[in-house]
Amino acid sequence: MKAFCDTMTKVVLDSKIWMKLLSSLGDNITDVIINASVPNVLEYHAAHSTYYVHYKTTHEDSVKRGGNLTVTDMKKTLTFLKNCKGDVTMQQSASKLSLKCQNKMMTIPMLNCKSAQLAPTMSSLVESSRKGQWIGFGRGTFTTHGTVNFSDLIDGAKIAKSLSVNSEFLIKSNAEEKELILHAFKTGGTSIICNTEIKDAQGPNHTTSSSFGSWLLGCLTMLDGNVDSTIHCGDSMVLAIEQSGEGWERTIIVLDQDVA
C-alpha cells in the first residue's frame, strides 16, 4: 500500500461515477483514501473500527497526476457530487482537497482521517493473509473456505436492516453441509434466516459461528450479487470476502464482536 503523504494528485471522472464509487463504501465510512496511478488505476482504502474495504478499479484516462486523494468529509463530498453534472475534478494539495465541476468548486481542509490511521494496518494484515493462503488473519485462524454467490444474503441483509441495531447478527458456516447462513434476530422478537450454498467448501464437519454488529449488513450490501465471491471464516473470527470482475477487484474484512 502506498504511503499516505502524496500531494498534487489530480483525477477526473463523471459525477455519476464518483457518486457510485464513493456511495458504495457504506454508511459508516466517513472518509476514504484513494491511491491514483497514471493513466487509469484507482484504489480505494476505507477503514472503520468495524470493517475495512479495499476496492481497485480502472477508468480510462482518469488519472491526470498520480498520488493520493484524501476525502475527509464523505457527506459533504457526496452532497457536492449529487448536485453536479458532467466531469468532476478532484485535486489534492498539501492542505486541502478541491472538487471542481464547471463553475462550481468546493475545498475541504485536511482534517483527521480515520481511514489514513487504520487502513495501513488493515492493508498489511490482508496482504499477509493472502500470502499465507488465508490460513488466518492476525492471531485468528480461518477454518472454512469456499466460493459463494451472495445474492440471497444481500437480500436477507436488506430485510435485516429493519431490526434494531442491538440485535444479534451471526454468520454461520458448515463445510460439510456446504452452507453459509446469515442469522439476524432479537431475543424474544423477530428472527431472519437466510442461507446460500458454499461451492468447493473446505472446512470442519460442524457449524462455525461468528457474531457481528449491525455493520455486517452494510458490508454485505456493498457486494455485487452478480458475481461469485471467495470467503474465509471461522469460529469467533473475522469474515473475509474477495470479489473480482473485469477491471475491478474488492476485498472486505468484517470484524467480529470479539475484535471490533
Handedness of CA 215, 220, 221, 222 (dihedral sign): positive
- In this predicted structure, the answer to whether residue 255 has a pLDDT above a threshold of 70 is yes
CATH of domain 10-115: 3.10.150.10
Integer Cα distance of 214 and 210 in angstroms: 13
**Which residue from 243, 192, 198 is spatially nearest to 222, judged by alpha carbons?**
243
For CATH 3.10.150.10, the residue range(s) in the chain are: 10-115
Return the C-alpha cell found at 231: 470467503
- State the CATH class of domain 137-254: alpha beta
For CATH 3.70.10.10, the residue range(s) in the chain are: 137-254
Question: For the segment 48-93, what is each residue's pLDDT rounded down to a tens digit?
Answer: 999 999 999 999 999 999 999 999 999 999 999 999 999 999 999 8
Compute, in degrees rounded to 10, the torsion defined by CA atoms 41, 73, 79, 92. Answer: -50
Residue with C-alpha cell 447478527?
Answer: 169
Q: pLDDT at position 1, please?
A: 55
Question: For the segment 109-165, what is each residue's pLDDT rounded down to a tens digit?
Answer: 988 899 999 999 999 999 999 999 999 999 999 999 999 999 999 999 999 999 999
Phi, psi of 246 (to 5 degrees): -70, 110
Q: pLDDT at position 223, please?
A: 95
Indicate the pTM of the whole model: 0.92
